[in-house]
Amino acid sequence: MALTVKGDEPALVLGFWFIRQVRQPSQASCEYTFELPTTPGCGYLFFRKHQYKAEKCPSQNSKLPRSMITCTDLARIMSESEAVKGALPVGATSPQKPAYGLYAEKFSGTAFTAPRGENLQSWLYRILPSAAHKPFEPIKRLSNTSFNQPLHHIPNQLRWDPFNTNANADWTDSMHLVCSAGNPCMKQGLGILIYAAGKSMETNEAFSSADGDFLIVPQQGVLDIQTELGRLLVRPREICVIPRGTRYRVSLPDGSVRGYILELYQGHFQLPELGPIGSQGLANSRDFQIPVADYTADTETEWHHITKFNGEFFTAKHNHTPFDVVAWHGTYYPYKYDLGRYNTIGTVSYDHPDPSIFTVLTAPSDHQGTAVADFVIFPPRWLVAEDTFRPPEFHRNTMSEFMGLIDGIYDGKERGFSPAGASLHNIMSGHGPDAEVHEKASNEDLKPVKVGDGSMAFMFESCFMMGVTDWGLHECKKVQPDYSDNAWGALKPSFDLAVDRKTE
């Protein structure tokens, strides 16, 4: 897609987390053309087109300092959106009277004084502020997310059969805490949940969590998520992140849904550093998609806002919809990503690199290089290493590893690890390929081979020791009692006992 820009200044084209500058071909020309990528999902497709003109628009205050530019700027601007032209203020965030009678509301995901590179704040321009509601009251839901329950810290390897679907549950009733570490009150740690729902939320309900950011991994069914900042349609093999406090409603346009959630109590997700990989690879920033403003003007219907607060559910009545944000700008917003766009890195010589090369998103801890949580995937990829045992190695890890399977067969576990199931290998619990996979990989002809076709496994890795809830260990009735024996019981020693011991 080509855009022609007229003017005396260079144009800035801003995409998701990156900036590209387009310069004029010469000072003699006041017109130049540049290309914007048209790849579906590219960040440019989600940014508002600005037109700065000399005439006064409803959001401009003539007393504010600004340049009087008479030409039209067709560049798109990073991380902002307006559903009504002129709803975003120009040159300010909190005008005395926002355009169209809107209210300006700040939405903070970090402390005001967080370092600039980590600071997450957005400004919302809405019909009524979110503070306008009745007091919250406790409410019972079918979800099992309470932190007032015992956690079982056990070193056993655990594996779960596929979790059940639930035709009678909506999103707020669908969530079950499987394991967790830390405390959302202290903003430390994380929780891992399974969701399974069979119906949409009520038309006048919205949900949010004050406990942390939701990283949602659908395994079955489509999530139509209406958030305050716009809509996201999330399907299996896509993920989305809903920031702490964001209000949203989940509809199910394609029937029952099931999947996994990592709730991050501590910090926020970001792209991993690439180091020697260079400037691109793994999950590229341009492939992340953010919503555009999409509001409803409803100030008469009674709405119910359900929030999760320290694992418990509360509800408050509103006399207006929470989805009334006409425009927004900033760095704190929901987003989604297509896992099929992941640029996989691997060895082209020998040996088996660590699975950190498959990291999509990371939430750093205070210790450099150590994550509160990493989201790692095992996508279709070529294996070409010579004289190498190619499957994932046998391993004991100072990090805990929770794995799930979206579809297909995981190359390290050919039997017993099914889509919609899971496994947990806690800190220092030995794990690795099962006996059958080990035997096969130890003797196969090492030709280039593509693994994982039709498959997508993932891992939530954390520096924390995970405690398993009663629901995860007993009530769900999905734990495989013979997991360890079935996976590794058939391994036999092959060491030649007759070999001479080395002597000094």
CA 71 to chain centre: 39
Is 367 marked as a binding-site residue?
no
CA angle 249, 303, 243 (to 5 degrees): 35
Tokens 């995970």 sit on residue: 466
* C-beta of residue 290 within 8 angstroms of C-beta of residue 195: no
- Three-state DSSP class for 222? coil
User: 176 an active-site residue?
Assistant: no
Is 431 marked as a binding-site residue?
yes
- Three-state DSSP class for 277? helix
DSSP per-residue codes, 100-151 = GGPEEEEEESS-TTS-GGG--EEEEEESS-TT-SPPPEE---S-B--SSS-E
Output the furthest CA–CA distance in the chain (Å, rounded): 92
* C-beta of residue 290 within 8 angstroms of C-beta of residue 46: yes
C-alpha–C-alpha distance, residues 491 and 271, integer Å: 39
- Three-state DSSP class for 357? helix
CA angle 316, 317, 318 (to 5 degrees): 120
DSSP per-residue codes, 416-432 = S--TT-EEEE-TT--B-
- Three-state DSSP class for 128? coil
Which of 291, 299, 290, 295 is CA-nearest to residue 326?
Answer: 295
* C-beta of residue 466 within 8 angstroms of C-beta of residue 400: yes
Residue type, 191: G
Which of 209, 203, 212, 303 is CA-nearest to residue 250?
Answer: 203
* C-beta of residue 250 within 8 angstroms of C-beta of residue 195: no
What number of other Cβ atoms are within 10 A of residue 312's Cβ?
Answer: 16
CB burial string 99-108: b at 16+ within 10 A, e below: beebbbbebe
Is 238 marked as a binding-site residue?
no
Is 9 marked as a binding-site residue?
no
Mention every residue, 6+ apart, whose C-beta is less than 8 A from residue 449: 382, 383
The residue from 352, 367, 425, 474 that is catalytic is 352
Tokens 């950011």 sit on residue: 213
Which of 209, 213, 210, 253 is CA-nearest to residue 231?
Answer: 253
Total length of the chain: 504
On the 0-12 / 13-18 / 19+ scale of CB atoms within 10 A, 433 is buried
C-alpha–C-alpha distance, residues 324 and 125, integer Å: 8
Which of 136, 109, 106 is CA-nearest to residue 120?
Answer: 109
Query: Cα dist. 16→23, 41, 80, 413 in Å?
Result: 20, 11, 10, 37
Residues with catalytic function: 352
Binding annotation: 395, 401, 410, 431
Where is the binding site for homogentisate, in residues?
A: 410, 431
Q: Annotated binding residues for Fe cation, as ranges?
A: 395, 401, 431
